[in-house]
Every structure is written in C-alpha cells, then in structure tokens.
Structure 1
Amino acid sequence: MHSSSHSATISKPQPTFGAAAQKRTLLIVDDEEGPRQSLRVVFKDEYNLLMANDGVRAIELAKQNRIDVAITDIRMVGMSGVELLEHLKSIDPGIEVIMLTAYETVDTLRLALRLGACDYLNKPFDISTMRKAVSNAMERRSLGEEIRNNGQQLNELQKELQNQKMVEEITRTRGEIYASIIHDINGPLTVISGFIQLMNQRIGSSPKLEGEDLDFLKDRLKTITRQVTNCIEISRRYLSFLRQNSDENPPVGVNHILADLHELLRVHPYVRDNEFVIDRLSDDVTVKINGTDLIQILLNLAVNGFQCSPQKHSVVIDGRFLPNAVDLSRFEDNGEERFLNREGFKNVGPLLAIAVKDTGPGICGDVLPKIFDPYFTTKSASQGTGLGLNVVQRLIKEAKAALHVKTKVGEGTTFTVYLPVAQ
C-alpha cells in the first residue's frame, strides 16, 4: 500500500426527516484513496460517513463524533490498524471495528480480535460480504447499547431499592426511638395525674385551706411543676432532633442520649440473655450531631453487639472526653481494624469518643471489610436486614464524625465513635 496525499474528508449528508434522521455513523479509514472511495460509494446512502486517510485523523474524528462502526485497514503508513483499534476502543468501548487485510499473519488477526475487533475481511473485498459485515456490526452496536441501557436502568433501580430499604430501616428505628419519647413523657404525666387526684381528694369541698392541707398542696404543686418541666424538656429535646439541616442541629447532651438509649434497650430481647452496661459520663458534654441520629448509631451498634453470638456475652457502652484532635496515623485498615470517614472527619478538639464493646467471637479478617456494605450480613434473615451498620456509616458521614472498629477473633469487637464536642 502507498501513502495518499489526499487529506481526510467528511461527507455531510443533507438534513433528513423521519426514519432517515436516525442514520448511524460509519468511519472509513484507509491510506489508499481507491478503497476509501469504493466504500464511500457503497455506503453513502445508508449511513453518515466519516473518512480518514490515517490513524491520527481517525482518532480526531472519533473524539469529535459519535461513531457506531469503523472500517480500517490493518497495514497503513504511520499508525497501524491494530493500534488505531486500541485508540478507538479507549475513546468508546462500544465502537464496532471491522479490519481489512491483504496479507496479514494469523497472529495479527488474533491480536485484533482479542482487542475487540468484531470482524475482518480480505482485500479485495466482495461488496455483498462487506455489506453483511457492516450490517452485522451495526446490529452488534445497537444490541450493545440496549444491553448497556438496560444495565444502567437496572443499576438505577437497585440504587432506588437500596435507598428505599435504607429509608424503611431508618424509619423503623426512629419508630422505636419515638416510642421511648412517649415512655419518657408518660412517666412524668403519670406522676402529675396521681398527684392531682390526691390533691382533689385532700381538698374535697373544703371552703378554706390552712395548716397541713395547705402545706400538702404546696408540696404537691412543686412536684407537679417539676414533672411538667421534665415533659417540656423532653418534648423540646426531641422536637429539636427533627431538624434535617445538620448545621442547625442544637448541641446534644450525651448523658440524655445514653439515658434514652438505656430505656430503648432495657426491654430488648437480647438484653435478657446477656450482660448490658451503659456508663454515663461523670461530666456531661454536648456534641454536634442530630440527637436522633446519635441514638440510632449507638442503638444499631449495640444491637449488632448483642447479635454477634448466641452465647452469653456482655455489651458495654462508655465514653471519654478527648481535649485534642485524634492522631489518625495510629489507625490502620487491616485484618483487625478499620477507620471510617477519615477524609470527611472534622478532627478538631475537643472530641468525645463513645465506645460500644462486646465480648463476642470477634470478626474474621475476610469479613471485616464487608460489614458496612448494604445488605451484607452473617446472620439469618430473621435477625436483620444487613442495613444496620450501613445506616451507621451514612449517619457518621453526615455528622462529619468518624468510626473506628477494632476486633480480635475470640476476644470481641469495639466500635468507637468520634464526635466533635460543642464549645
């Protein structure tokens, strides 16, 4: 073959309407004018044609246009057809490429097919054979697009389903949390109701209060006032948790959260068969996180600790104040530990570290990297959805917090949540 002095040309079809507007694009690459023009005559009425006399120009056209099928000679001056094939596939893996050859070796053809060529034809080519090869390539292109589109739609449906499952899991857990709110408010209201009944019995129809009756009334009114204040504080606390914007979250008192968590867990079926301890902070601190989210994080971690083994074991929750930022260099991701949200963590002191520790069997090294994946679980279907730890990961990231997992087979696991403290 010889090098052609002709520059690359593009045949521009006239504007068409209806079905003709859906013409596909065919790229023809050959350094000889004769074969290029022969192919142009054959396909000019069927496809939008792009013509190139070397690989460099063909690559430019592929970057500027959406090409469905390319026909290229294998042996050309400069860039070979096999090299061009690789470039075209890197630009658009879905491009179908037909190779033309006059006297190439079997190894070269095998290489072309391995790199993704859909067909190869010998020169001089038969027009009917060429038409059939291009038609088949166009069908492959259409089928490939359909498969990719279906795959993309399937991925979108899977993501939508995962998000829906996540919302359901969060809603379910928050339902348990708000059941605790009702419990918290119900206690003071019961005291208030009982005291009002006692006051009504004591006062009765007396026209005048004095002496012991007056002292009794004053004492009970003080108690009622305290209980009403408790109800108001509980209501305000949880109503403030409903704010969705994390920037607006009011500081959350950790000991309040731990008390509410205890109410949620003390009647949990797993607690009856295991040891459970919550150590409140000696000096309460407030942290920067939505209160409901914090309860949900600790609740999921605690339930995960209870479910790690059917054998009797303990789960302990405690916290410690850290005046300074955490040295992240001491945390590694290996077979016994993982650190989540290293990049998004607002690592500025002071911080609070809340640990959820269990004395279960620990987590195997091959399982540890998967525990935060959605739907991953080592438990039976009746014990969980595989979303608990994935919810924890999401809420940790939203709060710009961090989570460290430390485990050892046979000795148990500790999940430590690092939270920014509110000044």
Structure 2
Amino acid sequence: MSKTTMLPDAARTAPVNALPRRKPVLLIVDDEEGPRQSLQVIFKDEFEVLLAPDGPTAVALAQQHPVDVAITDIRMAGMSGIEVLERLKYVNPGIEVVMITAYETTETLRQALRLQACDYINKPFDVATIRAAVQRALQRHTLESELRSNTEHLEALRAELQNQRIAEQIAQTRGEIYASIIHDINGPLTVISGFLQLLNQRLSQAQRLEAEDLEFLRERLRVITRQVTNCIEISRRYLSYLRRSGEDALSGHVDQLLGDLAQLVRVHPSSQRHEFVLQNVNEPVAVRTNGTDFIQVLLNLIVNAFQCSPHPHRVEVRGEVLSRPLDLSQFKDTPQTRFVNMESFDNTPPLLAMQVRDNGPGMTPDILSRIFDPWFTTKERHQGTGLGLNIVQRLVRAARGVVHVHSVPGRGTTFTVYFPAVRLPTGEGNRG
C-alpha cells in the first residue's frame, strides 16, 4: 500500500515553480576566533555566514561566493582591514563593508571612507549596534543592486531603440534606392510605349509597305530593342540587390552602381546649388557587399558633404582599385584623422578605395572625434537625425571595410572607404 504524505496548506497553495529566496551572504573577517564566532551566532539566522581568519582567505571567499555584506576588523596580522576593504571592492564593488576596530585613528577613518566603507564601529559594541550597521549595509547593497539593474535595463532599452531607429533609417534609404531604380525603368517604358504607338499608327495608315516605311520601322524597332534591354538590365540589377546578402553578396559592376548613385544625387534636395562631380572607376570590379549597401554608404557621405555648409561648394567622388594591401601601420588617429572599423577590416587585395571629398568648412578635432556617434549632429534641430555616419560605419563594418576621414578646418573634408573587391572578367561592364 502506498503511503500518502499530507502537505501543509501553505505548501499546497504555493506556486509549483516558486524558488526559495536566497539568503544574503555575510563575510566575517577577523584574525581572532572569539569575535568571529560571536558574530556568526548573532547573524546565522538571517545570513549565510562565511568566516575568514585573514585577508587572503576573505578575498578568496569573495571570489567564490556572492557576498553582500562584509564585517572586517581593521587591525589584523598580515593583510590589514583597510587592505581587505580595498581588495573586496576590487573583487566586487557592490560589496558593502562594515569596519570594526578598537584602535580608531583619523588616518584609518579617512582611508575607510575613501574606499567607500559603509560604516565604521568602535569596539566594544553591543548587539543592537552591530545589527543596525549590518542592516544599513544590506539595505544599501540592495538599493544599489536594484539601481544598477535598472540602469542596465535602461541602457539595454536605449540600445534597442537606437538599433530600431537605425534599422528604420537604413530601410528608408534602401526604399528610396529601390524607388529610384523602378523610376528609371519608367523612362525606357515610356519610350517603348510612344514608339509602339507610332508604329501602330504608321502600319494602320499604310496599305502596303514601301522602302521608306521599312526603314522607319527598322529604326524604331532598334530604339525599342535598346530600351527593352535597358529595362532588363535595370530589373536584373534591382532583383540582384534584393537577393544578395551576407558573406556571398557581390555588388555587381561598380560603375553601373555609380550611375544609379548619380541619378539619386541629381534629384536629392541637398544637392541644389552645389557642384557635384563623379568619376567612374573605369575598371570591371565589384565589391563584396550588397549593391544597395554600397550605394547607401556613398549617398550618406555625399549628402553629409552637401550639408556641411549652406554656402555653395564642390563635392567630388572618385574610385580607385588597389592591387596591394594597405600599410596598416600608417593607420593612426590624429586630431585631423580618424580610422573606423580597423578591427573587422579584410585587407586582402584587390581593394576598392572610394573617396568623397568636399571643399567645405572642415571639422575641428572635437567634432571629428564624435562624428560616428549615433544622434550626434551639428545641424539645426529637426534638420538631421545624427544617424547618417553611424549607418555608414555599420554598413562598412558589415562589408569588412574601413573608413578613413581627414578634415582640416577651412580646407574641407575627405572620406575614403576601402571595400574588399573582386575584379570582373572583361566584358561584364554592362551586366547587372
């Protein structure tokens, strides 16, 4: 016959997964047996008590256990109580320490306060005094732990919000790129539609085709064929942007991407009144990243260059293929120079160096040191999010590239982005 065990009412109604609350841990450090045992008797019911006869043992116990509060005598053989306090704070700054001594001096009190001791008690003391001191230390430890936890939670939420905002900004810019490409298809389609109408009109009016009619048809059909080819190339490139991502992504021919970039810049509001020059690479090369990311990096840098000053100025973009790795020993931050993403840079040639240069006002060292920080902007309120260059940093890091910035006040700014690249076979220059 099985035996049935009856549980108390409180146990039967308690949640199944409820865990007993951890007892706070109290570390008692004293080189005399009597005081150690006395303090253990006082606190054994409320705390998990750890005993240490000397400083090294106390430090070792703090490294092995989640100590909340420590009581330590100041005068001990070997490591003093002040040294124990310092070492415990090094192991865990959250440990609250109550100092006890029979030989108080101004110097030891000053040192204890400097090292953030929670309390300082003179011997002899009564039970009520030591209990009150330890209780204050435990409350302080609990409050600071909660504050630290809430701060970490707040920072995590802030980081999550920041990442979400940046992701939205990236998605918005990509949407603009895709919309531009689709807009480009409308041009050839309009030409095709118009020429087809002309052909239909000519054919519907002709009873028979003369030599002049045939030449008219041939010429219009050649134009239609070219425009259809343009549509195919644009749509192929657009679809490849959507498909390619991750380590296997390849941008497609860089000069073709620069052509798309030029059209985006031409209609961008920031380009008005400024001079813009874009030079093709003129070498069949692709970069190891998604094509939209490549365009977005350059577009953000160009817009940033346009917006560096309201006065008309020149912004120039040029690219160069490098057959040798960069000499990273030359990559050093100075008051006028910054290098970003060095830790993730793939310095394997060939490399594509894309340079965005302006002859605007340049940046002071203080501004240069902060330009890649999220939300940092020198623009007027509501005129910039401060995310553009942070997005550049993220996209270049994902491409395993590196960014070099050189800026001199009064002499303009140059951004150079180095992308890992791939040379394409000759003849792929017009392929998406």
The alignment's TM-score, normalised by the length of structure 2, stands at 0.90
Contact 1:238 1:291 in 2 (8 A): no
Contact 2:188 2:231 in 1 (8 A): yes
- The Cα of 1:20 is off from its aligned counterpart by 6.5
Q: Percent identity?
A: 58
What letter is aligned with 1:65?
A: H
Shift of 1:251: 4.1
Secondary structure at the aligned position of 1:414 is classed as strand
Summarize the alignment of residues 208-219 of structure 1 with structure 2, pairs less than 5 Å apart. 211-219=211-219
Give 1:42's aligned amino acid.
I
Q: Report the counterpart of residue 400 of structure 1 in structure 2.
A: 400
* Cα drift, residue 34 of structure 1: 1.3
The corresponding residue for 2:183 is 183
Match of 2:94 in 1: 94
Are residues 1:385 and 2:389 paired? no
Q: 1:275 matched to which residue of 2?
A: 275
Report the 3-state secondary structure (helix = DSSP H, G, I; strand = E; otherwise coil) of the residue aligned with 1:389. helix
SS in 1 for 2:369: helix
Matched, 1:50 2:83: no
Matches of 2:73 and 2:255 in 1, distance apart? 76
Q: 1:332 is matched by which residue type in structure 2?
A: K
Q: 1:270 deviation in Å?
A: 2.6
Displacement after TM superposition at 1:98 (Å): 0.3
Determine helix, strand or coil for the equivalent of 2:326. coil
The alpha-carbon deviation at position 406 of structure 1 amounts to 1.3
Q: Quote the residue 1:151 is aligned against.
A: 151
* 8 Å CA contact retained: 2:69, 2:96: yes
Question: Which ranges of structure 1 fall in alignment gaps of 5 or more residues?
Answer: 1-15
Q: How does 1:133-212 map to 2 (within 5 A)?
A: 133-204=133-204, 211-212=211-212
| Per-residue CA distance 1:131-155 (angstroms, 9 max, x = gap) | 1111111100100110000100010
Residue 62 (structure 1) shift: 1.1
Aligned to 1:261: 261
Answer yes or no: is the 8 Å Cα contact 1:252–1:289 preserved in 2: no
The verdict on how the C-alpha distance between 1:330 and 1:56 changes in structure 2, with shifts beyond 3 A counting, is: closer
- Residue 312 of structure 2 aligns with an amino acid whose one-letter code is K
Structure 2 CA distance for partners of 1:20 and 1:228, relative to 1, 3 Å: closer
C-alpha distance in 1 between matches for 2:193 and 2:403: 44
Report the Cα offset of residue 169 of structure 1. Answer: 1.2
Q: After superposition, what is the alpha-carbon deviation per residue over 1:127-178, rounded to whole angstroms, capped at 9, x for unaligned?
A: 1111111111110010011000010001001101110110121122112211
Residue by residue over 1:53-106, the C-alpha shift from the partner in whole angstroms, topping out at 9 and shown as x without a partner, is 111221221111111101111111111111111111111110000011001311
Match of 2:59 in 1: 59
* TM-aligned CA deviation for residue 305 of structure 1: 0.5
Amino acid at match of 1:311: H
TM-score between both structures, scaled by the size of structure 1: 0.92
Structure-2 residue corresponding to 1:10: none
CA distance in 2: counterparts of 1:161 and 1:21, whole angstroms? 33
Match of 1:125? Answer: 125
Q: Which structure 2 residue ranges, 5 or more long, are not aligned? A: 1-10, 424-432
Moved more, 252-261 or 340-349: 340-349
Aligned pairs for 1:259-338 (under 5 A) are 259-338=259-338
State the secondary structure of the residue aligned to 1:372.
Answer: coil
Contact 2:352 2:418 in 1 (8 A): yes
Q: Is the 8 A contact 2:346 2:401 kept in 1?
A: yes
Aligned-partner residue type, residue 272 of structure 1: Q
Deviates more, 1:357-366 or 1:262-271: 262-271
Rounded Cα–Cα distance in structure 1 between residues aligned with 2:382 and 2:284: 37
Counterpart position of 1:35: 35
The CA distance in 2 between the partners of 1:20 and 1:416, in whole Å, is 59
2:320 alignment partner, SS class: strand
Question: Secondary structure of 1:420's partner?
Answer: strand
Q: Distance in 2 between matches of 1:381 and 1:259?
A: 33
Contact 2:261–2:299, Cα closer than 8 Å, also in 1: yes
Three-state SS of the structure 1 residue aligned to 2:379 is: coil
Deviation, structure 1 residue 244: 5.7
In the other structure, the counterpart of 1:350 is: 350
SS in structure 2 at match of 1:94: coil
Q: Distance in 2 between matches of 1:283 and 1:190?
A: 32
| Whole-Å separation in 1 of the counterparts to 2:38 and 2:130 | 11
Give the C-alpha shift of residue 329 in structure 1.
Answer: 2.7
Distance 1:64 1:282 in 2: 64
Distance in 2 separating the partners of 1:47 and 1:208: 108
C-alpha change, 1:108 and 1:244, in structure 2 (3 Å) is farther
Counterpart in 1 of 2:420? Answer: 420
CA contact (8 A) 2:402 2:418 kept: yes
Contact 1:28/1:51 (8 A) holds in 2:
yes
Greater CA deviation, 232-241 or 292-301? 232-241
More off after superposition, 144-153 vs 313-322: 313-322
Q: What is the aligned partner in structure 2 of residue 409 from structure 1?
A: 409
Check the 8 A contact 1:252/1:288 in 2, yes or no.
no
Q: Which residue of 2 is the match for residue 9 of structure 1?
A: none
Change (3 A) 1:105 1:323: same
Q: Distance in 2 between matches of 1:20 and 1:230?
A: 71
1:223 deviates by: 2.6
User: 2:385 is matched by which residue type in structure 1?
Assistant: T
Deviation at 1:209, TM superposition (A): 5.0
Q: Equivalents in 2 of 1:58, 1:146: separation in Å?
A: 25
For the 8 Å contact 2:245–2:289, the answer to whether it is kept is no
The separation in 1 between residues aligned to 2:61 and 2:281, in whole angstroms, is: 68
C-alpha distance in 2 between matches for 1:322 and 1:22: 62
1:209-245 CA distance string (max 9 Å, x none) = 5644344334333332322222121112122122463
CA drift of 1:205 comes to 7.1
User: What is aligned with 2:74?
Assistant: 74
User: 1:324: how far off?
Assistant: 1.8
In the TM superposition, residue 110 of structure 1 has moved relative to its aligned partner by: 1.3
